[in-house]
């Protein structure tokens, strides 16, 4: 269990942003630990084909809907994925130093973390599906 001083606090999240020349959505997190003088920034990238679409298919199957509904589903799910990735990164010690960090997709060199992302997805599957049903109407 982390000590009280090392608990990560998320102060603000901005996004999603569409990255140029990459098939990703990104979110900018401002994080703080009580031992840090100032917050620091973390950009979290969610791969559209490898993370977002994979989890969307597993969560909803081939769901139809208007373009607006599809966009809202993508926003809800990509934000959830970004939050889970922050949690995995914190647990793995990737956010212990006070410096700006970029968390890329959990593929390639970081693919070993995808298993942990999947576990968080499975744990939150019911609540994410309920949020989508309530907010999107699907």
Q: Any residues with CB less than 8 A from the CB of 11 and at least 6 apart, and which?
A: 30, 31, 32, 39
Tens-digit pLDDT profile for residues 71-89: 999 999 999 999 999 999 9
And the tokens for 65? 């809907």
Return d(Cα 121, Cα 115) in angstroms, integer.
10
The alpha-carbon radius of gyration of the chain (Å, integer) is 15
**Rounded to two decimals, what is the model's pTM?**
0.92
For residue 16, cis peptide bond before it (omega within 30 degrees of 0): yes
Contact 62, 53 (CB under 8 A): no
Reading the chain (138 residues) residue by residue, the pLDDT tens digits are: 556 657 899 999 999 999 899 999 999 999 998 888 889 999 999 999 999 999 999 998 887 788 899 999 999 999 999 999 999 999 998 888 767 689 999 999 999 999 999 999 999 999 999 999 999 987
User: What residues does each domain of the chain span?
Assistant: 4-136
Mean per-residue pLDDT of the chain: 91
Contact 96, 102 (CB under 8 A): no
């Amino acid at each position: 269990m982390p000590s009280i001083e090392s608990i990560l606090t998320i102060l603000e999240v901005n996004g999603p942003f569409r990255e140029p020349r990459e098939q990703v959505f990104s979110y900018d997190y401002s994080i703080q630990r009580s031992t840090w003088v100032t917050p620091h920034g973390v950009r979290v990238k969610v791969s559209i084909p490898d993370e977002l679409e994979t989890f969307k298919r597993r969560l909803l199957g081939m769901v139809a809907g208007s373009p607006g509904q599809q966009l809202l589903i993508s926003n809800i799910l990509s934000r959830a994925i970004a939050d889970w990735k922050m949690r995995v990164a914190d647990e793995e010690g990737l956010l212990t130093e006070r410096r700006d960090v970029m968390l890329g997709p959990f593929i390639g060199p970081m693919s070993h973390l995808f298993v942990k992302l999947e576990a968080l997805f499975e744990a939150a599957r019911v609540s994410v599906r309920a949020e989508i049903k309530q907010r999107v109407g699907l």
